[in-house]
Amino acid sequence: MVSKNQQEFLYVPLGGVGEIGMNMYLYGFGTKHDRKWIMVDAGIAFADDSQPGIESIIADTAFIENELDNLLGIFITHAHEDHQGALDKIWPILDVPIYGTPFSTNLIARKLAETNFADDVEIINVQQGDSISVGPFTVEFIPVTHSIPEANALAITTELGTVVHTGDWKLDSNPVIGRTTDIKRLKQLGDAGVLALIGDSTNVFRSGQSPTEHEVGQNLADAIKGASGCIAITSFASNAARVYSIIKAAEAADKNVVIAGRSLWRIIDIAREEGYFKDLPHLYDQNDFNTLPHNNTVVVVTGTQGEARAALARIAKGEHPAVKLRANDTVIFSSTTIPGNEKSVGYVVNALADSDINIINSQTHKVHVTGHPLREEMMQMYEWLKPETSIPVHGEVMHVREHIKLAKSLGIKNTVKALNGTMVRLAPGKTKVIGEVEHGRIYEDGNLLTPAWDGPVKERRKLSFVGIVAISIVFDRKGKLRAEPEIFSMGLPEYDDDGVSMFDIIADKVDEVIQAMPNGVRKKEKPAREAFRIGVRRQVERIWGKKTIVQIMLSYVD
Ligand SMILES: [Zn+2]
Ligand SMILES: [Zn+2]
């Protein structure tokens, strides 16, 4: 038992355990009635076909919203969307400083610049390898290799000990850009004693040895040299290391390099500003594509997952404004297909095949490597840190379970399965689950963040993406309202940002239209109906950012 006045070191995952994506973790320190918290990562998950109309999914922050005075800051391990993509949506709720290394904070600052609260956000840069103390916590940013520069494991220390939160990491002796995992520092921490390893589980089912990023670059150069026609290569824009490898491979094969898409330019600009990507050849914009010799050009494009709006899908359909491929050209997928995206990728591949375009992917050539540790690498991390407890993160439930089995097989004394919402006491005493906190998912839905209840989304699966509003209005022949208008809606958010119900907004708008409508118009069915329809539709759009279907049932009685 821990007494009321006993200090405790706590851990609460809000997102990222039970799914891959929407990483959000809390660490707490203090007595039951006087606790301070820090947040590690604030990422999004992408919605799939079962959540029509939803842009992204974020962990519910209700628990920490009740502790806002005690939240000291948000620490970002690295700049991938599943670790920082929620900041531009939830920062106004949390309103605390953001800590990160310069590459990550540069990318975050650019994203926040598109919001109306950018000037209010305090961003604090920490160099890789440095520590910063905030309240009772000292947080050290330890360089690890990943697919983006400046990925960090965090060593979080309080009076009661140190835990290591790995973030996304892997081992790569030749990562091309960014630093190698700081094994020496990890070993030092292990020798000094680590309470718990909170670690990446993504590839726990995969064994073997990954090629280095440098080898992938060489394989890409070989593939480019052996391929016919113009070559389009697709990668995640956020996989900065790969974007660099592709450009260098194209240069080695003596090709012109075209960059197609804003997100690719953004990552290249940030990398250059932060001192990476120093030795790139001249890069052409997509608008130059037409002016370059077709068969001597490599185009870097987004759209690895077959996303309909990304460049590759538009090229495949022949709808890209600047880049046109021809028969016998080649597309290289320098990526893997994320489970769930097979259908959309298949659609793009088939469209390319229909135009007689050749496909090269990671199954036919070693043109991709994962950014996460395979089993053998995870085993090494345990050897270096020698943690008392293993707490798996960054995985679905099956990954978490397998990670626990792996840790046990390595002789780790204590393992804790802590899915989203679990409160874990790291210290004092043996690390264990002590409770559960409010948790869940929030949908980014147009301009609104709404609770991820199944109701409205299910309705939208029936009603496509925009929902429906039906309103019944009864006038008499003199244009006098004979009954309270009846409003029925499906698939709309329940409340606006201020907690006003959408029903009330529509009812108020209907009242407003009635008040403003001259008697002469009320008696004419068609213009009267249009006035209600357009008024309600515009009002809903103003609030929601989406055009719903509005049906007006207007009737007249004597
Ligand atoms: Zn990552
Ligand atoms: Zn991740």
ipTM entry = 1.00
Q: Report the distance separating Cα 198 and Cα 195, nearest Å.
A: 10
pLDDT digits (tens, 9 = 90+) for 41-96: 999 998 877 787 888 999 999 999 999 999 999 999 999 999 999 999 999 999 99
Torsion-angle region of residue 328: left (phi > 0), alpha (psi -120 to 50) or beta?
Answer: left
Looking at the chain, which residues constitute the CATH 3.60.15.10 domain(s)?
8-207+370-441
The mean-pLDDT minimum among 125-129, 170-174, 403-407 falls in 170-174
Q: Report the distance separating Cα 497 and Cα 43, nearest Å.
A: 21
Average per-residue pLDDT for the chain:
94
Instruction: Tell me the ligand closest to 370's alpha carbon.
Output: 1
- Percentage, residues of the chain above pLDDT 90: 85
> What's the CA-to-centroid distance between 80 and ligand 2, angstroms?
7
**pLDDT for residue 388:** 98
Q: Report the distance separating Cα 125 and Cα 132, nearest Å.
A: 10
- Percentage, residues of the chain above pLDDT 70: 98
Q: Report the distance separating Cα 493 and Cα 207, nearest Å.
A: 45
CB-based contact 517:482 (threshold 8 Å):
no
> What's the CA-to-centroid distance between 373 and ligand 1, angstroms?
11
pLDDT digits (tens, 9 = 90+) for 230-258: 999 999 999 999 999 999 999 999 999 99
CATH fold for domain 8-207+370-441:
Metallo-beta-lactamase; Chain A (3.60.15)
Instruction: Tell me the ligand closest to 79's alpha carbon.
Output: 1
Q: What SS3 class is residue 112?
A: helix
pLDDT digits (tens, 9 = 90+) for 378-403: 999 999 999 999 999 999 999 999 99
> What's the CA-to-centroid distance between 70 and ligand 2, angstroms?
27
Q: Report the distance separating Cα 226 and Cα 222, nearest Å.
A: 6
* pLDDT for 217 beyond 80: yes
CA angle, 485 then 490 then 491, to 5°:
140
Q: Environment class of residue 230 by beta-carbon count within 10 Å: exposed (0-12), middle (13-18) or buried (19+)?
A: buried
pLDDT digits (tens, 9 = 90+) for 405-433: 999 999 999 999 999 999 999 999 999 99
pLDDT grade for 2, boundaries at 50, 70 and 90: low
Residues with beta carbon < 5 A to ion ligand 2?
A: 82, 168
CB-based contact 153:171 (threshold 8 Å):
no
CB-based contact 26:37 (threshold 8 Å):
yes
> What's the CA-to-centroid distance between 327 and ligand 2, angstroms?
37
Q: Report the distance separating Cα 79 and Cα 148, nearest Å.
A: 7
Instruction: Tell me the ligand closest to 203's alpha carbon.
Output: 2
CA angle, 420 then 379 then 429, to 5°:
55
Residues with beta carbon < 5 A to ion ligand 1?
A: 80, 168
User: Residue 142 corresponds to which tokens in the numbers above?
Assistant: 């330890």
> What's the CA-to-centroid distance between 395 and ligand 1, angstroms?
12
Query: Which one has a higher pLDDT value, 337 or 194?
Result: 194
> What's the CA-to-centroid distance between 199 and ligand 1, angstroms?
13
Which residues neighbour 436 within 8 Å (Cβ) at sequence distance 6 or greater? 421, 422, 423
CATH fold for domain 213-360:
Rossmann fold (3.40.50)
> What one-letter code names the amino acid at 314?
R
> Region 88-112: what's the mean pLDDT?
97
**pLDDT for residue 40:** 98
The count of residues in the chain is 558
> What's the CA-to-centroid distance between 394 and ligand 2, angstroms?
7
> What's the CA-to-centroid distance between 82 and ligand 1, angstroms?
7
Looking at the chain, which residues constitute the CATH 3.10.20.580 domain(s)?
453-557
> What's the CA-to-centroid distance between 473 and ligand 2, angstroms?
52
For residue 164, the cross-strand partners are: 155, 197
* pLDDT for 1 beyond 60: no
pLDDT grade for 178, boundaries at 50, 70 and 90: confident
Looking at the chain, which residues constitute the CATH 3.40.50.10710 domain(s)?
213-360
> What's the CA-to-centroid distance between 126 and ligand 2, angstroms?
20
> What's the CA-to-centroid distance between 143 and ligand 2, angstroms?
15
**pLDDT for residue 396:** 95
> What's the CA-to-centroid distance between 154 and ligand 2, angstroms?
14
Instruction: Tell me the ligand closest to 149's alpha carbon.
Output: 1
Which residues neighbour 406 within 8 Å (Cβ) at sequence distance 6 or greater? 204, 375, 378, 379
**pLDDT for residue 161:** 98
pLDDT digits (tens, 9 = 90+) for 195-208: 999 999 999 999 98
How is 464-509 classified by DSSP, letter by letter? Answer: TTT-EEEEEEEEETTS-B-SPPEEEEESS-SB-TTS-BHHHHHHHH
Alpha helices in 359-396 (DSSP H): 375-385
Q: What is the CATH number of domain 453-557?
A: 3.10.20.580
> What's the CA-to-centroid distance between 78 and ligand 1, angstroms?
7
pLDDT grade for 462, boundaries at 50, 70 and 90: low
* pLDDT for 449 beyond 90: no
> What's the CA-to-centroid distance between 150 and ligand 2, angstroms?
13
User: Residue 325 corresponds to which tokens in the numbers above?
Assistant: 């491929």
Q: What are phi and psi for residue 384, nearest 5 degrees?
A: -70, -45
pLDDT digits (tens, 9 = 90+) for 479-520: 899 999 999 998 899 999 999 999 999 999 999 999 999 988
Which residues neighbour 208 within 8 Å (Cβ) at sequence distance 6 or greater? 374, 376
CB-based contact 66:39 (threshold 8 Å):
no
pLDDT digits (tens, 9 = 90+) for 150-168: 999 999 999 999 999 999 9
Beta pairing class for 196-200 and 161-165: parallel
> What's the CA-to-centroid distance between 209 and ligand 2, angstroms?
20
